Structure 1
């Protein structure tokens, strides 16, 4: 058997699927593409998470686009974090190109230009379906981890939530939370201290500074009502295709705190809301996190621990998480160990540090008789990648250098007019984009503080009146005494001298 035949069997045996699957492309031996040696991903293992990595300009975003398209076509809803702003083209078909036809001829599958149902979402001032969540939905533990609070500060946050629950004070947005901080350190200090113990003003000051930091990154836009219902991420269109929700994040690259806050809240909400799925044969939702280092770089140890826990547990809910980043080392090892699919585009090795990172990256992939992994990693062309996935039995497939198929949709952004057309046709815009500011802790506490201040003013006025009354009474008593004739005689100088004169004579 020739090496080519041996390689052909290597790919077809390693990536054959009995159930439904997605085709990524065809295997490559050296620079040659093995036509019809197809690299497939079983739908049943898509909830085992994945990684798309590679240097800038090697095709990571197009790989993400390919996966999202094919998942949508199989009826699987997708959520994309569009940090660079180049994924909205999914809503329009590819214009085609001779190089695309040539690529697909090498792979051995036809090219079919298509557009896909998309929903444009936003957590900032950009246009789109507004995603929000209330402070109450975060809960004290998650909010404390996001703010990176100490144990003492976290205890204060827990007291705030408990007090609000006991007194029917809804915590909806950040101004509600800030009002509570003001209340427990001023007007409500005695009440809180009596029931929960003394609270340090230095600790509440530290919490307030963390809240202000989150506000400065746009947190006031994210916290509030109406809360986004995660079930709206799992819709399919009238043709049975999964809706691709594109979250526009081009204006938050310098706001990692807001990005990680949103991501953790979303994952926690999905985990709490979705039922246990078991082995259903296909995922309920796939989430792609582009520029994943934005989530991990600024995360505290507590926050990383929370993310790692969710990644380990959420797959049982039928949710697949796919991290897109430049280097696998951008993803914590405990998370990386949970990723069943790995698509590695080319890496660069210009420095000693790069070469060390390249060697570590190569060790993340299975050994192969057909490749020197660390060497080939620097030679992969645009639209080529090393691929390994989990087969239908959950076993890692052989490493395959893969010629990736081309996206079926436009490999470019939508025009502003096209974006507005998508938003204008959205049913969710009507559901979520009206701002609701119902009576909450801010207003109710404001009334309570006013009542306390009014009561205190009345008490102060009463005490002042009593003081004046006592003063007037004393003054009146003195005047009355001075006017009494008997008192006048007894206190006269003549009478006193006479008395003391008699005493002197007796002595």
Structure 2
């Protein structure tokens, strides 16, 4: 057995910080918890992003809950993506349990039950504050990447946005965007080709099919007004605790396109609107993305590039991103390399492929004189994890197998009546849940088409009237001619005999 005192000193020295920090639990050695060998994460480096990984049932969600609670306690707002619907209990205090007290006695500090300020958000028809964004806010580049279109089609989308800007046609929802696409190769074909070049019907058809695919995954509910103001994610309650904003996503697990669309839109909006933070003492906002593999599962290369760029840049805005998933390999290497905090719960080795993946995972962690990382990864119990963070100088803290503390709030969902009461108390519901469908590109183009059709109908009626008048005139002239030729007197006067007689008399007179 390793020297426990040396190990205790090793952990203490590596987890002593000048600034404020969050305590995750106590370090373990040879399967035993070392009381008061506390494992901490400095607030200063929580904008350096992180990963919470592990097999199903190992305690990832509870670790997420612990981090969210402690951030809220420090006055830092949190945004949680709740895929499984089991995080709403944060709004109520833990009922406690003898096993929780026993765990905290081993760790070295008492357990405290506490509830936290919670706001329930929704992307779909579920109850909560509706999250929306307009098509215009997305912009042509981001929309092209979400739709995964070709370079030529991306150029057409840029032309569509430019045409709408030039003609003051608001692009609010997908209905507007589809209408402009149809107009570009229909009634407005000549108008657009004159100023913006010819647009191929085949290309607009391909883009329309992509839009329909997005609609089928619920995109029609996400695009529209009123747009959600990301500043509302930064609220703090009257006690100075940061709000924990929970996005309920239980009904969109099978719609990764919508989830990716929402996440990319949100991160892009945060990056464009939040001020630069510099080297601040704590993050402005921390975002936890549960079931993070859904973002990357069906993402195109262009979309992945966009996500990787935002992950690299958003840190300067004081925003930390934490990916929660079963295996670190679910996250692209370019993103994984940007992550400062790593909380690795147990992995299961049932196949040769699993064992190979565990060895690769172990190589992502700092070397330790106290652990064989690949062996520890398969022997961790529920609520235990390997933890390494960045210290205040950006250096990884010692790798520690950690007995994690228990959440202070309820480790279960809210009852229906509790959820109803929480939503009814929301100050954001009146602001964002009103359905707005103001005049936009769809209505304006329909009006324009209708006006053009009326003008065309008038012109057509005018032409038909002229043609009728001309036809009537021709028939009248022809009729007069026919009548004159049928008159007996005229017929006698114009007969050859009379004409010859008249011409003969005229000839004699001229002589």
TM-score by length of 2: 0.94
State the structure with more CA Rg: 2
Contact 1:482 1:488 (C-alpha < 8 Å) held by counterparts: no
Q: Would you say 1:21 and 2:21 are equivalent positions?
A: yes
Name the structure 2 match of 1:473.
Answer: 473
Name the structure 2 match of 1:503.
Answer: none
Matches of 1:91 and 1:267 in 2, distance apart?
25
Name the structure 2 match of 1:327.
Answer: 327
Matches of 1:56 and 1:2 in 2, distance apart?
31
Matches of 1:355 and 1:465 in 2, distance apart?
86
Provide the secondary structure at the position in 2 that maps to 1:338.
coil
Contact 2:368 2:399 (C-alpha < 8 Å) held by counterparts: yes
Q: Residues 78, 491 of structure 1: CA spacing in aligned structure 2 closer, same or farther, 3 A cutoff?
A: farther
Q: Kindly state the Cα deviation for residue 467 of structure 1 after the two structures are TM-superposed.
A: 2.8
Q: CA offsets per residue over residues 97-118 of structure 1, 9 Å max, x none?
A: 1111111111111110000000
Name the structure 2 match of 1:339.
Answer: 339
Q: Residues 244, 469 of structure 1: CA spacing in aligned structure 2 closer, same or farther, 3 A cutoff?
A: same
Q: CA offsets per residue over residues 401-428 of structure 1, 9 Å max, x none?
A: 1110000000000011000111011100
Q: CA offsets per residue over residues 70-99 of structure 1, 9 Å max, x none?
A: 000000000000000000000011111111
Q: Would you say 1:182 and 2:182 are equivalent positions?
A: yes
Q: Residues 161, 106 of structure 1: CA spacing in aligned structure 2 closer, same or farther, 3 A cutoff?
A: same
Q: CA offsets per residue over residues 15-54 of structure 1, 9 Å max, x none?
A: 1111100000111101111111111100000000000000
Contact 2:126 2:248 (C-alpha < 8 Å) held by counterparts: yes
Matches of 1:493 and 1:59 in 2, distance apart?
124
Matches of 1:471 and 1:270 in 2, distance apart?
70
Q: Kindly state the Cα deviation for residue 494 of structure 1 after the two structures are TM-superposed.
A: 11
Q: Would you say 1:235 and 2:235 are equivalent positions?
A: yes
Q: CA offsets per residue over residues 354-409 of structure 1, 9 Å max, x none?
A: 11211111111111111111111010000000001000101111211111000000
Q: Kindly state the Cα deviation for residue 200 of structure 1 after the two structures are TM-superposed.
A: 1.0
Matches of 1:491 and 1:324 in 2, distance apart?
110
Name the structure 2 match of 1:79.
Answer: 79
Provide the secondary structure at the position in 1 that maps to 2:27.
strand
Q: Kindly state the Cα deviation for residue 278 of structure 1 after the two structures are TM-superposed.
A: 0.3
Deviates more, 1:3-12 or 1:264-273: 3-12
Matches of 1:353 and 1:45 in 2, distance apart?
34
Q: Kindly state the Cα deviation for residue 286 of structure 1 after the two structures are TM-superposed.
A: 0.2
Name the structure 2 match of 1:501.
Answer: none
Matches of 1:50 and 1:15 in 2, distance apart?
17
Name the structure 2 match of 1:420.
Answer: 420
RMSD: 1.9
Name the structure 2 match of 1:505.
Answer: none
Contact 1:59 1:382 (C-alpha < 8 Å) held by counterparts: yes
Contact 1:481 1:487 (C-alpha < 8 Å) held by counterparts: no
Q: Kindly state the Cα deviation for residue 468 of structure 1 after the two structures are TM-superposed.
A: 2.8
Name the structure 1 match of 2:506.
Answer: none
Matches of 1:408 and 1:431 in 2, distance apart?
31
Matching of residues 345-494 of structure 1 within 5 Å? 345-483=345-483
Unaligned runs of 5+ residues in structure 2 are: 501-511
Matches of 1:25 and 1:292 in 2, distance apart?
24
Q: CA offsets per residue over residues 428-458 of structure 1, 9 Å max, x none?
A: 0111111111111111111101011111222
Contact 2:492 2:498 (C-alpha < 8 Å) held by counterparts: no
Provide the secondary structure at the position in 2 that maps to 1:378.
helix
When the two structures are aligned, how many residues end up with a matched partner?
497
Matches of 1:89 and 1:340 in 2, distance apart?
28
Matches of 2:2 and 2:325 in 1, distance apart?
37
Q: Would you say 1:127 and 2:127 are equivalent positions?
A: yes
Matches of 1:495 and 1:333 in 2, distance apart?
110
Matching of residues 213-252 of structure 1 within 5 Å? 213-252=213-252
Matches of 1:471 and 1:273 in 2, distance apart?
69
Q: Kindly state the Cα deviation for residue 298 of structure 1 after the two structures are TM-superposed.
A: 1.0
Provide the secondary structure at the position in 2 that maps to 1:242.
coil
Q: Kindly state the Cα deviation for residue 174 of structure 1 after the two structures are TM-superposed.
A: 1.1
Contact 2:289 2:322 (C-alpha < 8 Å) held by counterparts: yes
Provide the secondary structure at the position in 2 that maps to 1:38.
strand
